[in-house]
Amino acid sequence: MRFENLHDNTQKWIRAAVNEGHPAEAIIYTLHTDGHPQDINEAVYQYLQEIYPREQSPLIPDQLRSTESTRFAYDKEVQVLLTLDQPHVILFGDFLSSEECDQIVADSKPKLRPSTVINAVSGSYDTDNQIRTSYGSSFKRKENDLVKRVEKRISALTGCPEKHAEPIQILNYAPGAEYKPHMDYFDPKFSGNANVLAMGGQRYATLIMYLNDVDVGGSTVFPKIGLDILPRKGCALYFAYANQNGWLDHRTLHGGSPVISGEKWIATKWMRFDKYTGPLA
């Protein structure tokens, strides 16, 4: 659905809300609670992206706007394999060496536990086998020389200060394991997200690092934009979805498709607007 296909009264209401300065997410939420169909979001976001100034778009550091095919990240050069503007997605090659990937996996194995999801209503960390069926572990900031090096590399590449990023999380998916499509940001309209938002503000971007080649399956899927990223050892996937004005880009809905054969290992770094003060900081 496109904006111009919406009912005339709906178009007029949206234009008036924009002129009054209401943020994008508030407009979307009001339309949804008034009974409008979910697919209206696509049309509204298309319109808002066109008329809002740049500062209303997700935060994208200047170095990530570069059109160069390679970027320097602290101690090595990485390749740009794919870029997408709306939403902002970049796939980097050779972000981690094969040896670094193997070491991260080896260090994580003894610490694996069933993965949890944050309950947006209660704020608790729950194990939900209907949504997420992976095992995970994490590293404290600067836990060892490898973690220190990777954190500096992430900061240099993305522009996110190290203290604003959450500790590196490791996920392991066995055959059949998956993570159903979800958002990485915390929707403030759910009261249960207040505690995690207090730990450093909103998340604005994610970096997923692929630690092995998966035999079959295990891709990172973005169903709203038809994007499917196959896991390749050493690559890293960056995507942005928020800004400090409250813009939250629903098109970054993403998930980990089921692993069909072999297993999948990834490392994830979530970036916040303020200093992260939560667990393992």
**Banded pLDDT at 68 (limits 50, 70, 90):** confident
Question: Considering the domain boundaries, does residue 126 fall inside one?
Answer: yes
Q: 3-17, 184-198, 222-236: which has the highest mean pLDDT?
A: 222-236
Give the residue numbers spanning the domain of 244: 62-272
- Which residues lie across from 125 on neighbouring strands? 118
Residues 95 and 146 in one domain: yes
List the single range of 36-40, 100-104, 163-167, 242-246 with lowest mean pLDDT.
36-40
Cα 184 to its chain centre, rounded Å, is 5
Residues 112 and 196 in one domain: yes
Residues 155 and 43 in one domain: no
Tally of structural domains, the chain:
2
**Banded pLDDT at 17 (limits 50, 70, 90):** confident
- E-only strand ranges, 134-231: 135-138, 169-173, 179-182, 203-210, 216-217, 220-222, 227-229
**Banded pLDDT at 122 (limits 50, 70, 90):** low
User: In this predicted structure, what is the pLDDT of residue 16?
Assistant: 84
User: In this predicted structure, what is the pLDDT of residue 13?
Assistant: 85
Contact 104, 170 (CB under 8 A): yes
Residues 191 and 254 in one domain: yes
Q: What is the pLDDT of residues 130-141, one digit of tens each?
A: 567 788 999 999
Long-range contacts of 26-33 (CB under 8 A, 24+ apart): 26/246, 28/250, 29/189
Question: Considering the domain boundaries, does residue 225 fall inside one?
Answer: yes
- Is the peptide bond preceding residue 87 cis, with omega within 30 degrees of 0? yes
Question: Considering the domain boundaries, does residue 280 fall inside one?
Answer: no
Helices assigned H by DSSP within 142-192: 145-158
**Banded pLDDT at 247 (limits 50, 70, 90):** confident
Residue 73: which H helix or E strand, with range?
A: strand 70-73
User: In this predicted structure, what is the pLDDT of residue 277?
Assistant: 95
Q: Which two tokens stand for residue 69?
A: 């095919």
User: In this predicted structure, what is the pLDDT of residue 54?
Assistant: 47
Question: Considering the domain boundaries, does residue 279 fall inside one?
Answer: no
Question: Considering the domain boundaries, does residue 95 fall inside one?
Answer: yes
Residues 188 and 102 in one domain: yes
- CATH number of the domain encompassing residue 146: 2.60.120.620
Residues 84 and 17 in one domain: no
User: In this predicted structure, what is the pLDDT of residue 52?
Assistant: 55
Residues 33 and 71 in one domain: no
* Rounded CA separation 106/109 (Å): 6
Rounding to the nearest 10 degrees, give the CA dihedral for residues 61, 62, 64, 69. -170
Exposed/middle/buried for 47, CB within 10 Å: 0-12, 13-18, 19+? buried
Q: Give the residue-averaged pLDDT of 62-89.
A: 88
* Rounded CA separation 240/86 (Å): 10
* Rounded CA separation 210/94 (Å): 10
Q: Tell which wins on pLDDT, 64 or 275.
A: 275
Residue 250 scores a pLDDT above 90: no
**Banded pLDDT at 121 (limits 50, 70, 90):** low
List the single range of 86-95, 108-117, 227-236 with lowest mean pLDDT.
108-117
Instruction: Using alpha carbons, select from 130, 81, 136 the residue that is nearest to residue 114.
Output: 136
Q: Cβ of 76: how many Cβ atoms within 10 Å?
A: 15
Residues 45 and 9 in one domain: yes
Residue 193 scores a pLDDT above 50: yes
Residue 195 scores a pLDDT above 80: yes
Residues 39 and 106 in one domain: no
Residue 128 scores a pLDDT above 60: no
Residue 126 scores a pLDDT above 70: no
The percent of residues above 70 in pLDDT, for the chain, comes to 82
* pTM as predicted: 0.80
Question: Considering the domain boundaries, does residue 214 fall inside one?
Answer: yes
Biggest CA-to-CA distance, the chain: 59
Residues 27 and 105 in one domain: no
Residues 114 and 202 in one domain: yes
Question: Considering the domain boundaries, does residue 281 fall inside one?
Answer: no
For residue 171, which amino acid is it? L
Mean pLDDT, rounded, of the chain: 86
Instruction: Using alpha carbons, select from 105, 116, 153 the residue that is nearest to residue 269.
Output: 153
* Rounded CA separation 264/256 (Å): 10
Q: Coil, strand, or helix at residue 86? A: coil
User: In this predicted structure, what is the pLDDT of residue 245?
Assistant: 75
Q: Give the residue-averaged pLDDT of 60-82.
A: 87
In sign, the C-alpha dihedral spanning 94, 256, 188, 19 is positive
User: In this predicted structure, what is the pLDDT of residue 8?
Assistant: 85
User: In this predicted structure, what is the pLDDT of residue 142?
Assistant: 94
**Banded pLDDT at 103 (limits 50, 70, 90):** very high
* Rounded CA separation 41/169 (Å): 31
Residues 113 and 223 in one domain: yes
